[in-house]
Amino acid sequence: MLLLAQMPQARHGPSQLKPPALHVKSWLSSKQGPEETGRQGQPQGPGLRTRLLVTALFGAGLGGVWLAMRAEKEQQQQQRRTEALRQASVGQGDFSLLDHCGRARCKADFRGQWVLMYFGFTHCPDICPDELEKLVQVVQQLEAEPGLPPVQPIFITVDPERDDVAAMARYVRDFHPRLLGLTGSAEQVAQVSHSYRVYYSAGPKDEDQDYIVDHSIAIYLLNPDGLFTDYYGRARSAEQIADSVRHHMAAFRSVLHGSGH
């Protein structure tokens, strides 16, 4: 299981926002002609059309306030979750691995980029291919939206005994042209896995010397500062993950603009 505990979120009720006053009476009176009269010739109150207009304007005001309150509440919840995840000290420190082209890679190489990262192994029969396919779907959805920064997909093996550079190169080409496969020595893989709280354990070998590696299943999101920002388990769909990444991107932009960068 993934050794990450989702921090509880504090519950805050909606702030007591007063609906904006609707100064429609004077505007309506300036636009209306003579007062309507009833059958007895007595002045009547505002007509049906006027009352509908007042109701519509009042409802629109309340709707706008409700939407603003909801957006503010969602943003506060996301900020609390992000801060709790950062305090979990996941992804601290550097790592040193080889990519599927044989080039040395470290954490600093991905600064300035959004990263979606998955730990698995190439001999995995079903879960790893499914999760990598989901990760690729997220990247493709975000690539199709103008104005969004690109997301770098990364696959890190937890089976360095079999997943050398050549094996990783053969594997990643079946998913996405920008999917980067990372491998290394047993010690290097152990270091990066420990940094991201990834559990893995190789099972017994069969008569063909084949074996399964039991491991944590999660897709990690890193922001352009290289900080672990969120993670997504098997239950999250590609659409849900893409939506979450969009929210994190928007929050990151707002922080940058707010700090004057």
Angle at 11 between CA 219 and CA 77, to 5 degrees: 40
Dihedral of the alpha carbons of 108, 82, 3, 130, in degrees to the nearest 10 = -80
Q: Which helix H or strand E contains 171, and what residues bound it?
A: helix 165-172
Whole-angstrom Cα distance, residue 213 to residue 201?
6
> Would you say how long the chain is, in residues?
261
Q: State residue 48's pLDDT score.
A: 75
Q: State residue 50's pLDDT score.
A: 74
Q: State residue 9's pLDDT score.
A: 38
Q: Which residues are known binding-site members?
A: 124, 128, 215
Q: Which CATH number fits domain 96-255: 3.40.30.10, 3.60.15.10, 3.40.50.2000, 2.130.10.10?
A: 3.40.30.10
Domain boundaries of the chain, sorted by first residue? 55-88, 96-255
pLDDT digit of tens for each residue in the chain (261 aa)? Answer: 444 544 333 344 433 334 444 443 443 344 444 444 444 455 555 677 777 776 766 666 666 666 666 656 656 665 665 565 555 567 677 899 999 999 999 999 999 999 999 999 999 999 999 999 999 999 999 999 999 999 999 999 999 999 999 999 999 999 999 999 999 999 999 999 999 999 999 999 999 999 999 999 999 999 999 999 999 999 999 999 999 999 999 999 877 655 555
Is the full-model pTM beyond 0.75? no
Take residue 203 and report the two structure tokens written for it.
Answer: 């099972």
Phi, psi angles (nearest 5°) of residue 215:
-155, 165
| 151-157/180-183 β-pairing | parallel
CA-CA-CA-CA torsion sign (188, 182, 112, 118): negative
Q: State residue 1's pLDDT score.
A: 40
- The number of beta carbons lying within 10 Å of the beta carbon of residue 94 is 11
Q: Which residues are known binding-site members for Cu cation?
A: 124, 128, 215
In this structure, which amino acid lies at residue 259? Answer: S
